[in-house]
């Protein structure tokens, strides 16, 4: 069974680290789990868009677009992320 491509990308620690995740719930869970240990409390959340067509007409790689920035140092962000994660459970 082929493995589906990740639909989300999470960039953190000033862009030095990135993770590819299958869904929004996984993104939020990861942010809450790694946030307290990360060097930088700012997380960029990117979503996969349409696949780029190659010159031969076949599908190439997906293009990721910035959806939001979660800055855990901003008041209320952690609580908002927790609430959204709970609503997705």
Are 43 and 70 a contacting pair, CB within 8 Å?
A: yes
So what's the pLDDT on residue 51?
81
So what's the pLDDT on residue 85?
96
Domain presence at residue 36 = yes
Cα separation, 10 vs 89, in Å, equals 20
Domain presence at residue 62 = yes
Domain presence at residue 12 = yes
Domain span holding position 46: 8-88
Are 52 and 61 a contacting pair, CB within 8 Å?
A: yes
Domain tally, the chain: 1
- Write the pLDDT tens digit of every residue in 17-74: 999 999 999 999 999 999 989 999 999 999 998 788 888 988 888 789 999 999 999 9
So what's the pLDDT on residue 9?
95
């Amino acid at each position: 069974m082929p493995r589906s491509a990740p639909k989300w990308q999470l960039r953190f620690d000033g862009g030095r680290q990135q993770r590819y995740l299958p869904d929004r719930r996984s993104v939020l869970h990861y942010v809450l789990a790694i946030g307290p240990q990360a060097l930088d409390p700012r997380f960029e959340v990117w979503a996969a868009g349409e696949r780029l067509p190659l010159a031969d007409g076949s599908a190439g790689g997906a293009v990721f677009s910035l959806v939001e920035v979660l800055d855990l140092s901003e008041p209320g962000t952690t609580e908002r992320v927790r609430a959204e994660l709970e609503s997705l459970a």
